[in-house]
Amino acid sequence: MCGIAVVVCGVRIELSTLSSFLSETVTPFERLQVCVEDVKSVLSQRGPDSVGEKTIHLQQNASTCGQDSVTLSVSEASGGTYELEETTSLGELHFIGSTLQLRGTSPIRQPLVDSSGNILAYNGEVFGGIELNCYDNDTEVLLKSLEKAKALVPDVLSMIKGPWAIIYWQETSRTLWFGKDAFGRRSLLVHWPTVEDPRFLLSSVSPASSVAQGLDTENGNSIHRFWEELPCGVYSISFGVSELCIRGEVTKHEWRNTIWKELIEWKRELVVPRPEDLSTSSHSGIQEDKSVSTSLGLAQTVLVVLKESVRRRTSLHSIYQGEKEAVPVAVLFSGGLDSMILAALLDQCLDPKYEVDLLNVSFDGPNAPDRISAKAGIKELKKIAPLRRWKLVEIDADLSKLTFETKRVMSLINPADTYMDLNIGTALWLAARGDGWIHEDNENPSVEEDKQRVKYKSDARILLVGAGADEQCAGYGRHRTKYRNGSWVALDQEMKLDMQRIWKRNLGRDDRCIADNGKEGRFPFLDEDVIKTLLDIPLWEIADLEQPSGKGDKKILRQVAKLLGLHEVAKMPKRAIQFGSRIARESNRKNFGSNRAANQASAGSVRFQAPSH
């Protein structure tokens, strides 16, 4: 995971072409001081291997005054504290890049600059679409591909398979390109210019200094929206001179690859089943056997693409180790269906010499549901993969003692600001940190109580996360409600809505909380091939919500689990991380007095008040 940012000042940014993408009303906000040093500091947490910066000055050429021409000089930022003023006679673009290196054989430092003067700050992975070998650094290869493409930047970015966010200066065209992949699997925040702060800013994460305190008591809204999640897509700012000032015009570009348009539209062809499509006790034995056979065949198809997705994210490319070889991959592990499938597939993909860290968070010690299921889950994993060395990392937390951590997460989840976001973000942040306890084997490894509990911190830099499974396979309670109220069509529409807003509701927040620990979250269920495969499957084979919880929801993933030999977890009901870890219960007691009071206040959607810095 890397951190990227650019600060543009001294340029009048034209946003008229983006009117359909921007908020109609601008919420007033208090004056905030966002300086480059704050941005660099917070980005360094995401990319601990190196931090670099480059500056471009845009200046009107005096000899062609009044013409649409800009002269550029390129220089590196000077050492020491660097401040960007909001008013300057020059246009200025200040690029910042921090690196968590996971690919290549030699260390790199972002932003990268090529011989043509192009500048690239990249946060992502190239898992396909652009040719590279297992030892290549994908950022270096991407920069070469962009240079060769000249004006066809959207064509190159549309080829990439994998999560990405990008900031790219194209020297020949005087154009700043930026954006993120079609599902928003990497965070990129934007501050559009306002009267209060006319700069244009992009950053992977917001500094604490740009989180305002207080609420607008009249309407209950936060008084500040300095940052917002950049909507998915490819954008450019082309610079020129008019009316004796430097201007930049923002354009949003179409995806050049039709697969992205299809996946974004998320249209399932087979939604409403015919009577003969459903396997019930009233059907003949032959018909029911045929239905079961069809379901198992589809589950096998999903298993194949999921395994390939895990392989792409863990073992297809050489993982950069630097001077210290460590456990390369860990799993965010609740012992539930999604994390158990990922752990089992990881075992099939990862070199047997490596241990696998299973990171489990609890706010109720051994009594949290996720801790109980994790301990049961590791026993089931040992049955199907007895040669793998599994490490259950028990991360115990006390919410009342997490004052510093809570403030940190409040900043990381920004612009999200509800207690639900805070609870989920806190659990993810603690899991990614990987600081907990493990049980060391002794003479009788089969007896859990006889094992010694010792401190342990996971060094794994890649963290597999089950994001996207519930949205695509009807795992949420609201899916069952929609089905009961409107049957199959309503269920399909709710799942479509979930997938089309996952970038804004989930993925940016999750990326920022995980990456703050110098770890990279990877989401196998959100692989392009996995999404397309699940979308091509009839909805009634994905889920059967006539069946009880733990059976009909995520039906196809339960069948995948059985194919992997995970028969116990295939029967487990869904539990969200905030409930399974019991952070929601502790948060309700702390902030509302009791679970009952929190429920009455709809605590999950209540916005918290950020503390003073």
**What CATH code is carried by the domain that includes residue 350?**
3.40.50.620
Domain boundary among 258, 275, 308: 258
CB atoms within 10 A of CB 138: 22
Asked whether 374 and 439 are in contact (CB, 8 A), the reply is: no
Look at residue 149 in the predicted model and tell me its pLDDT.
83
- Residue 287 covered by a domain: yes
Would strands 50-59 and 91-99 be described as parallel, antiparallel, or unpaired?
antiparallel
7 and 89 fall within a common domain: yes
> Cβ(174)–Cβ(239) under 8 Å?
yes
Final residue of a structural domain among 205, 224, 258:
258
Write down the pLDDT at residue 516: 96
- Write the CATH number for 183: 3.60.20.10
Best CA proximity match to 479, nearest among 542, 561, 562: 542
Q: Quick check: is 612 in a domain?
A: no
Burial of 147 by CB count in 10 Å (0-12 exposed, 13-18 middle, 19+ buried)?
A: middle
Rg over alpha carbons for the chain, rounded to the nearest Å, is 25
Whether residues 284 and 247 fall in one domain = no
In this structure, the strands spanning 164-170 and 175-180 are: antiparallel
Question: What's the pLDDT score for residue 81?
Answer: 37
Range of the domain at 52: 3-258
| Residue type, position 52, single letter | G
Q: Which residues pair with 97 in a beta bridge?
A: 4, 52
Q: Is residue 610 part of a domain?
A: no
Strands in 493-581 per DSSP E: 520-522
Does one domain contain both 392 and 487? yes
Residue ranges of the chain whose pLDDT lies below 50: 24-30, 64-70, 72-88, 214-223, 281-282, 443, 445
Measure the CA–CA gap between 240 and 237, rounded to whole angstroms.
10
Same-domain status, 200 and 320 = no
**What is the tally of structural domains in the chain?**
2
CA distances from 422 to 228, 289, 353, 578 (A): 17, 47, 37, 10
Q: Is residue 611 part of a domain?
A: no
For the record, the structure tokens of 515 come out as: 């990456």
Task: Indicate if 284 and 246 belong to the same structural domain.
Answer: no
Distance (Å, rounded) from C-alpha 143 to C-alpha 538?
A: 40
pTM listed for this prediction: 0.90
> Do both 159 and 271 map to the same domain?
no
pLDDT per residue as tens digits for the range 482-512 = 999 989 999 999 999 999 999 999 999 999 9
Shared domain check, 323 and 243: no
* Dihedral (CA of 367, 368, 374, 380) sign: positive
The answer to the question of residue 613 being in a domain is no
Is 285 inside a domain boundary? yes
What's the pLDDT score for residue 195? Answer: 87
Determine the pLDDT at residue 474: 96
* Strand 91-99, strand 3-9: pairing: antiparallel
- Report the C-alpha gap between 412 and 37 in whole angstroms: 17
Out of 258, 279, 311, a domain closes at: 258
Same-domain pairing of 30 and 150: yes
Pairing of strands 233-242, 175-180: antiparallel
CA angle 571, 577, 582 (to 5 degrees): 105
Amino acid, res. 522: R
246 and 385 part of one domain: no
- pLDDT computed for residue 83 by the predictor: 41
Q: Are residues 218 and 348 in the same domain?
A: no
Is residue 213 located within the same domain as residue 330? no
Q: Do residues 102 and 320 touch, judged by C-beta distance below 8 A? A: yes
Strands (E), 494-604: 520-522
Beta-carbon count within 10 A of 135 CB:
12
- Are 248 and 307 found together in one domain? no
CA distance 597 to 100: 43
Compute the distance between CA of residue 574 and CA of residue 561 in angstroms, rounded to an integer.
14
Q: Is residue 502 part of a domain?
A: yes
Q: Are 542 and 534 in contact (CB under 8 A)?
A: yes
